[in-house]
Structure 1
Amino acid sequence: MDAQGDNDEPAFEWMTPKAAGEPKPATGATPAAQPGSRADRKAAEAADTMPEPPLFADASTTAETSGKPDLFSEPLPTSSLHIRPPEAEVARRNAEREQAANAKPAAPRVFQVLLAVFYPVILLVLAVRAVTSALFLWVEYNRPGFPGDGYGFSTEDRMTYGSYAMDYLSNWAGPRYLGDLVGQDGSKLFKGSEVAHMADVKLVMLSSFGAGALLIVLSIIAMIYLRKRSNGGIRRGLFAGSIVTLAVIIGLGVLGVMGWQQFFTEFHRIFFASGTWTFALDDTLIRLFPGQFWMDAGIAIAALVFVAATATLVLTWPTRRRRGLSARDSDAQDGSAQDGDSGDALSQDTAADEPGDAPAGMEATENRK
């Protein structure tokens, strides 16, 4: 170290010796902190480590930190979050949350209703298609008791000409398909009025078959959706559809039994213009398809639809196993139904099988665990 120029003066003022006439501090008094002293450094460090006041504080916070009430401060908007709403408002919010959590999706129910509505129409169209076939025609012509033709048609002639008429109803040929047919004597087999009526019948039949095919496609789409989104939705839709089908077919059957001729006449008035579907007894259509044929066709259609709907009803009946319920759960539901606390079996089945809900048997097992 270079000591040249050092005048031996103290580095700090507090190290300078006191003058002889300067008074000394009183006993017990705390000496004032000298600049640059250790006390000053401690005070500076304490000031640096003190927490900064919050940027946003309400009146209560300011009063607590400062020790004095702040009369001019206003509460922040967020301070209202600490205030509990009234009990009625809390109950209303809880009820809305519970309702939203327990709400069932509407799409599965819509598809179930559509499946129930489409099913009777599909069965009826399929039964009509089965009757308008050469197989049913052969059964009719060869069954005992079927009336013969009094104008010369044999069973083989009826089968040949009748097959042409049946094929015309389901193909895409024009009226010449029947209009160009000739009998054994070379004359026209069908008159112009008969061909025109068969053309009208063909339009109705093809429209029915097209509608039935469209409903089948829509029903398949509904089944695919219900299979993925609603446990048991297909079964419930078919079960309801079978009940509707049985009710409709029984009602139509009663009307047919009470007055077949009136029922047959009203049916033709719905689909065909008046005067276009009445023919003489010696016309080819009457000789091929007498009144007994249409009565047997109506019975066959009703029987096919009834058998199919009954089989569907049995296969989709909501038993305990199909609903996923145990014996204990079923007894509990029966007891609650007797007390008036629950709906019918179909509504209970719907509640148990909706998406997102575990079957009742599984839930009871988990509770017991």
Structure 2
Amino acid sequence: MSDKSPKPQEPETDVHDDPDEPAFDWMKPRTSGGSSAASAPAGASSPSSDSDTSAPIQPESRADRKAAEAADAEPEPPLFADASASNPLASNPSSGQPAHYSEPLPTSALQVRPPEDEVARRNAEREQAAKVKPIGPRIFQVLLAVFYPVILLVLAVRAVTSPLFLWVEYNRPGFPGDGYGFSTDDRMTYGSYAVDYLSNWSGPRYLGGLVHEDGAKLFKDTEVSHMADVKLVILSSFGAGLLLIILSIIAILYLRKRSQGGVRRGLFAGSIVTLVIIIGLAVLAVLSWQTFFTEFHRIFFASGTWTFSLEDTLIRLFPGQFWVDAGIVIGALVFLAATVTFILTWPTRRRRGAGAKSSAVDDSEKEESFEDTPEDEAVRR
């Protein structure tokens, strides 16, 4: 390109050469009272004069345009304007204009703290409720104390009605022999049949079918009938003892979970009751064994069904000394078990302190659960 070549002409960008062009009205200085219309010639009609009321006026600067855009982007007024205007908490105190409507918080009721007397009354009710002990653990403690002596008695009777006790009795020194011909082996054999019949589910034929070497019946019909009555009493007592054991286990599990030291207190009371009962029965037996034995049989058996002659098989197998020894063994076993339980559950200072400490820990946990958290205090304030 030489210096003589013509230079390209720049486009005309001066808006002052064409003041009537409406496309450049926004670049002209804005004056009050419709300055854009006044700047036009008097005889010329401005195209924008007819649309002043409909077309928005362009802002002068970039900041003004941003402000105008922000004003256009404001959300519409809330539907519940009357509710927000009537709520003093929903207005902006700095601007004096009502804010948008909002639902109350779920904890708005906690912002108002109750009066001091109401707080004191509630605390007193909580303390009173904490001091009142539930009745459930007390009931189970009483049941455990009542069941315990019966369970010990049933277990002791079960220990006596066994072939082992028969063997010890027939082989111990001083046990009276049979004057009608039964040897120790005969007694052990026939006596084992009688004891086994008391704990099995066989009928009266189990004993009624036994015979001597000469073919005669071993037990008379009256003896078999009495043994059937004894079997009914024994099996009933064993069933009741098993049921009481199950209930006692349930009571122990409940007390271990709900009452600290409840098992110990129940067994301690039961051991005292057992000792009182067994000592009282032992005194009656020592004072008059025959009267005690007779009254015991009258309680469970009909009169005339439990008396036999010295020649009958039951008397030859189980003489009077056998029942005396059986009573001593039953009383000794129950007394020993109750004494051990009494010693192990004695409320010593250490055991009472452990129980009181656990109760204090439980009470402190309850009080901490009732105390207000810092968040609750902040909400109230």
The TM-score with structure 1 as length reference comes to: 0.66
Structure 2 gap segments, 5+ residues each: 1-12, 39-56, 58-66, 75-80, 94-107, 365-381
Give 1:138 shift. Answer: 2.3
Residue 113, structure 1, aligned to residue 142, structure 2: yes
| Closer/same/farther in 2, CA of residues 83 and 213 from structure 1, 3 Å limit | closer
Write the distance in 2 (CA, Å) between the matches of 1:219 and 1:148.
43
1:33 — aligned with what?
none
Deviation of 1:312 after TM superposition, in Å, equals: 1.2
Match of 1:357, SS state, is helix
Structure 2 counterpart of 1:5: 20
Distance in 1 between residues matched to 2:159 and 2:185, nearest whole Å = 21
Change (3 A) 1:168 1:91: same
What one-letter code is carried by the residue in structure 1 that aligns with 2:322?
F
| 2:263 alignment counterpart | 234
CA shift, 1:324, in A, is 4.4
**Aligned mates of 1:134, 1:263 — CA distance in 2:** 25
- 1:281 matched to 2:296: no
Q: How does 1:1-369 map to 2 (within 5 A)?
A: 3-5=18-20, 11-13=30-32, 55=84, 85=115, 87=117, 90-324=119-353, 349=355, 351-354=356-359, 357=362
CA distance in 1, matches of 2:256, 2:304: 50
- Is the CA contact (8 Å cut-off) linking 2:154 and 2:237 kept in structure 1? yes
For residues 354 and 242 of structure 1, the distance between their equivalents in structure 2, rounded to whole angstroms, comes to 25
TM superposition shift of 1:259: 2.5
User: How far has the Cα of 1:188 moved from its partner?
Assistant: 0.5
Structure 1 Cα separation of the partners of residues 360 and 273 of structure 2: 25
State whether residues 127 and 305 of structure 1, in contact with CA within 8 Å, keep that contact through their aligned partners in structure 2.
yes
Question: Contact conserved, 1:236 with 1:316, CA < 8 A, in 2?
Answer: yes
The structural deviation recorded for 1:56 is 8.5
CA distance change for structure 1 residues 208 and 10 in 2, over 3 Å: closer, same or farther?
same
Cα displacement (A) at 1:225:
3.8
Identity of aligned residues (%): 70
How far, CA to CA, are the matches of 1:278 and 1:56 in structure 2?
104
Question: Does the C-alpha gap of structure 1 residues 356 and 10 become closer, same or farther in structure 2, counting only changes over 3 Å?
Answer: closer
Q: Once the 2 structures are TM-superposed, how far is the Cα of residue 273 of structure 1 from its aligned partner? A: 2.1
Q: By how many angstroms is 1:190 displaced?
A: 0.5
Aligned amino acid, residue 201 of structure 2: W
Cα deviation, 1:218-246, whole Å, max 9, x if unaligned, reads 33333344444444333222222211111
| Native 8 Å contact 1:149 1:287 kept in 2 | yes
Alpha-carbon deviations, 1:246-276, whole Å to 9, x = none?
1111122222223322222222222222222
Residue identity in the other structure for 2:350:
R
Contact 2:268–2:341 (8 Å) recurs in 1: yes
Distance in 2, Cα, partners of 1:56 & 1:275: 102
Q: 1:57 to 1:236 in 2, by over 3 A?
A: farther
Deviation digits for residues 143-194 of structure 1 (CA, Å, limit 9, x no counterpart): 3333333333233322221111111111122111110111233211111111
Q: Give the C-alpha shift of residue 285 in structure 1.
A: 1.1
Taking the aligned partners of 1:259 and 1:354, their CA distance within structure 2 comes to 50
CA displacement 1:22-81 (0-9 Å, x = unmatched): xxxxxxxxxxxxxx9xxxx9xxx9xx9xxx99749799x99x9xxxxxxxxxxxxx99x9
Q: Root-mean-square deviation (CA), in Å? A: 4.2
User: Which range moves more in the overlay, 160-169 or 252-261?
Assistant: 252-261
Cα separation, partners in 2 of 1:353 and 1:125, compared to 1, 3 Å: farther
Change (3 A) 1:107 1:139: same
Per the TM alignment, residue 140 of structure 1 is displaced from its structure 2 partner at its CA by 2.2
What do the CA deviations read for 1:263-295 (whole angstroms, capped 9, x no partner)?
222222222222222222222112221222212
Alpha-carbon distance in 1 for matches of 2:172, 2:148 = 32
CA distance in 1, matches of 2:113, 2:203: 83
CA distance in 2, matches of 1:238, 1:287: 41
Largest Rg, 1 or 2: 2
SS in 1 for 2:173: coil
Q: Distance in 1 between matches of 2:324 and 2:333?
A: 14
Deviation of residue 105 (structure 1)?
Answer: 4.5
CA distance in structure 1 between the partners assigned to 2:312 and 2:21 by the alignment: 150
Partners of 1:277 and 1:135 lie apart in 2 by 25
Structure 1 residues 353 and 291: CA distance shift in structure 2, 3 A? farther
Distance (whole Å) between structure 1 residues aligned to residue 154 and residue 207 of structure 2: 24
Give, as a single letter, the amino acid of the residue that structure 1 aligns with 2:288. Answer: G
Q: Give, in whole Å, the separation in 1 of the partners of 2:127 and 2:350.
A: 30
